[in-house]
Amino acid sequence: MYIATLLTNPDQPHLTEATVAAQRDAWQGGDIVWLAPGEAAEFALPEVPDDRWPAWEAWQRKGVDLVIQPAQGRRKTMLLADMDSTMIGQECIDELADEAGVGPHVAGITARAMNGELDFEEALEARVSLLRGLDESVINRVLETRITLAPGGPELVATMRAMGGYAVLVSGGFTAFTHHVGRLLGFDETHANVLLIEDGRLTGEVAHPILGRAAKINALERVTKHLEIPEADVIAVGDGANDLGMLERAGTGVALHAKPTVAAQCDVRINHGDLTALLFLQGYARDEFART
């Protein structure tokens, strides 16, 4: 048995009974369950339809995400999340670079690295080198004035933890940001790279070993072993090429507003919904979300 979930941007809910029923009827699905009026609905399917992706494309044009997944085991006990452009709305290194006066150049490198066009570690070292000499106080300034939590993140983490889940934040960014974001959102663990600082200024180097794609897979392996749960019990979310390893290994890997080459390699793609989509995908109704 499978579950088809349809969901929209929570700020612009526009699903209707008629349009959802039309898709259900075309696929001979089960009863429609509304997880949030106008925003998210689901129905059971006996099998994955042959026209899944044409239907997905049609719904995308309407501003709706369509996900089909096995019904069994879709509620997860562990969340593994990327940070930059996932749990927050920015790329931290781009914001630091903007403060250093090299924002556009670094942002271009970041975009190519996240799309898988550049080696992640080499790209990170190249970008960090451009921050050499920046006063360390700029980190707190960026945190206070530039970094915003992504919509739905507080509800996602709070609900999964309230249901007994474990939340891990693993970033190719920097500990100065993951510690802050992880504390705000209530993550159980945070892991990231360390910006080296001497005499109050950034050295333009990052501590080794650099946490990249392999580090996210290692976190998946290590934490699931520690919790004594299978990798199938993990829901992972990210947007960049360095997230693909963990997205492929997790029971449910969600490409959230992901780079094109990343989304193309994932079956679960959220382009219109926010982070609460990860709760809808697990069958939680909005009135079951934990208060934040």
Annotated catalytic residues are 82, 84
CB-hemisphere CA count at 13 Å for 245? Answer: 14
CB-hemisphere CA count at 13 Å for 173? Answer: 31
- Is residue 106 within 8 A of residue 94, CB to CB? The reply is yes
Residues 6+ apart with CB under 8 A from 119: 113
Alpha carbon distance 17, 284 (integer Å): 19
Phi-psi label, residue 249: left if phi above 0, alpha if psi -120 to 50, beta otherwise: alpha
Please count the other Cβ atoms lying within 10 Å of the Cβ belonging to residue 146: 16
Q: To which residue do tokens 């898988």 refer?
A: 116
The DSSP line for 107-125 is HHHHHHHHTTSS-HHHHHH
The one-character DSSP state at 286 is G
- Is residue 231 within 8 A of residue 212, CB to CB? The reply is no
Residues 6+ apart with CB under 8 A from 150: 85, 86, 87, 88, 89, 274, 275
Burial status of residue 150 (CB atoms within 10 A of its CB: 0-12, 13-18, 19 or more): buried
